[in-house]
Structure 1
Amino acid sequence: MSEISLFKRSIAELIGTYVLVFLGTGSVVTAMLLVQGANRIPENSFNVGLNIEAWFAIGIAFAIAIIAMIYAFGHISGTHINPAVSIALWATGRFPAKDMMGYIVAQLIGASLASFTIVAILGSRAVDTGLGATAMFDGVSYSQAILCEAVATFFLMLTIMGSAVDKRAPAGFAGLAIGLVVAADIIVVGNITGSSLNPARTFGPYLAEFMLGGTNFWWQFPIYIIGPIVGALVAAFVYDYVTELKSCE
């Protein structure tokens, strides 16, 4: 991987994050449009008209995007497609700081381009749905939302460490394992925080919504920075600690 230039690896991260956000948040927009088309008015903003079947479909859409991009670009850039993952790998000495910033910028650009593309295809009605932006639901406090994102991202990063980073893992299954744990996270906590697990995934819809006259969600953005980064860091260090103990037995 080090033989491939940072520019080319960053392009792979940009494309990978673009696909993730386009397919993932695009599924949210589609679900919301279907709800509106069926004239189903949500009883409150907690359920926003989406039932468990819709959240399952959204989770699978994200999973498919992640699985496809890991198999497409895993051997090129590692397919981080998530600033929290890049930061956790840097913090544990697996990723150079000089590359980390290039990856994060590429991820943010890819996510933003995906959200603007959804609007280019669907028009202002996509903005009216919120563009799949993540946000706290009714009855969820700021601190609870941060904890929720941290716990869900812990599961994601732990899976990444065990299936992709650890060279002892069986080859060829990382994409499937990582995609499925993201799907499970979305199905379980989607109705709590939107289940971002990824600052870039939240950044793209927030930026497009704000610039195109939609809802201003930026006051909630710290939730989706602090939660995912803390969860990813804890998972990476816990995995290293546990596997070091195992190797000494």
Structure 2
Amino acid sequence: MSTTYLPTATAFLPDEPAPVQAALSRRLAVEFIGTFWLVLGGCGSAVLAAGFPKVGIGLLGVSLAFGLTVLTMAFAFGHISGGHFNPAVSLGLWLGGRFSGRFLLPYWAAQVVGGLAGAGLLYVIASGSPTYSSSVNGLAANGYGAASPGGYSLLACFVTETVLTMLFLYIILGATDSRAAKGFGPIAIGLGLTLIHLLSIPVTNTSVNPARSLGPALILGGVALQQVWLFWVAPLLGAALAGGSYQWLTGSEGAEPVASVAQRISRATTTIGDVTTSTPAPRPEA
């Protein structure tokens, strides 16, 4: 077996397999599944488990649930589709040079349908309880003003969603940069989403993901559907700000797709505190 010599390592490692470019149909399928899981797991934890008598998981548990949905799906399917599961992420990655614009609308469609399917299944499950009422318990829909968990204003909610989505995209772009530590991208992204929820559930119920917002809103209708525009406009704006500025901020060429080439060990260009070459050292004589 051939080997690649890494200048910062003390041993030889087997050559890494070339990344496989999955067919678009497979990428869309896993984007559907990932977004479905995010809505079912994240919103489901809020609706079914957050306030369960005596052993409810509370806001901390819901925040962790959303982070874990992204972390698990990024590890499971990131190497297939890039692990977006979020229209704002797809937009930011395109503007950041990590994703082809010709796939943007198909990804959005798969994500929206996945979010709707997740919300639909959650509604079926929740409706099985005699104490559930969609008007009282909802589906963890997002909102502002009277529909905000803490009664926050439209401006406060718009700023929150815009800034937090921008920071989320910075985390994603940075954690999956070819110069970042390898193999840890999904962990950083999942924990980043957890922190975002810890901060903003009281404000908007946390979106930073238009597909996550649209699914519950379409099923609930009413105020949730009337206000869902904000949870498209603000996250997409935040993602565009991050995607458009990341390369300038970091000097990135933006040539690596998320969770694929950028996370291959042989592409490492930094060590902790040191910048090193990305060109392998000459292989010693056998």
Name the TM tier (shorter chain): 0.7 to 0.9
Q: Which residue number in structure 1 is paired with residue 61 of structure 2?
A: 57
Q: Larger Rg: 1 or 2?
A: 2
Q: Does the Cα contact within 8 Å between 1:163 and 1:173 map onto a contact in 2?
A: yes
**Secondary structure of residue in 2 paired with 1:168:** coil
CA distance in 2, matches of 1:127, 1:154: 32
CA-to-aligned-CA distance 1:180-212 (integer Å, 9 cap, x gap): 1111111111100111100001011111212xx
Q: Structure 1 residues 245, 101: closer, same or farther in 2, change over 3 A?
A: closer
CA deviation after TM superposition for structure 1 residue 127, in Å? 2.5
- Opposite residue 232 of structure 2, the aligned amino acid is I
Residues in 2 aligned to 1:169 and 1:219: alpha-carbon distance in whole angstroms:
41
Cα distance 1:97–1:31, how it changes in 2: closer, same or farther (>3 A)? Answer: same
SS at match of 1:74: helix
C-alpha distance in 2 between matches for 1:229 and 1:2: 29
Q: What SS does the aligned partner of 1:26 have?
A: helix
SS in 1 for 2:139: coil
User: Hey, what's the Cα distance between the residues in 2 that align with 1:89 and 1:245?
Assistant: 13
Corresponding residue of 1:68:
72
Structure-1 residue corresponding to 2:35: 17
1:194 to 205, 210, 224: 205
Distance 1:33 1:90, change over 3 A: same
Indicate conservation of the 8 Å contact 2:94/2:100, yes or no. Answer: yes
Task: Give the match for residue 6 of structure 2.
Answer: none
1:153 aligns with 2:165: yes
Gaps of 5+ in 1: 39-49
Q: Does residue 200 of structure 2 align to residue 203 of structure 1?
A: no
Partner residue, 1:185: 196
**Correspondence list, 1:60-99, <5 A:** 60-99=64-103
- Stretches (4+) displaced over 6 A: none
Q: What pairs up with 1:86-235 in 2 under 5 angstroms?
A: 86-123=90-127, 125=132, 127-128=134-135, 129-136=137-144, 137=148, 138-164=150-176, 166-210=177-221, 215-235=222-242
Percentage identity across paired residues of the two chains: 32
Q: Return the offset for 1:126.
A: 5.9
Tell me the distance in 1 between the aligned counterparts of 2:50 and 2:58: 9
- Structure 1 residues 242 and 7: alpha-carbon distance in aligned structure 2, compared to 1, 3 A threshold: same
Contact 2:50 2:58 in 1 (8 A): no
- What are the ranges of 5 or more consecutive residues in structure 2 without an aligned counterpart? 1-18, 254-268, 270-274, 276-286
The count of residues paired between Structure 1 and Structure 2 equals 228
Distance of 2:133 and 2:27 partners within structure 1: 31
Describe the SS at the equivalent of 2:211: helix
| Cα distance in 1 between the residues matched to 2:209 and 2:88 | 6
CA contact (8 A) 2:47 2:126 kept: no
> Partner of 1:47 in structure 2?
none
Q: How far, CA to CA, are the matches of 2:216 and 2:101 in structure 1? A: 27
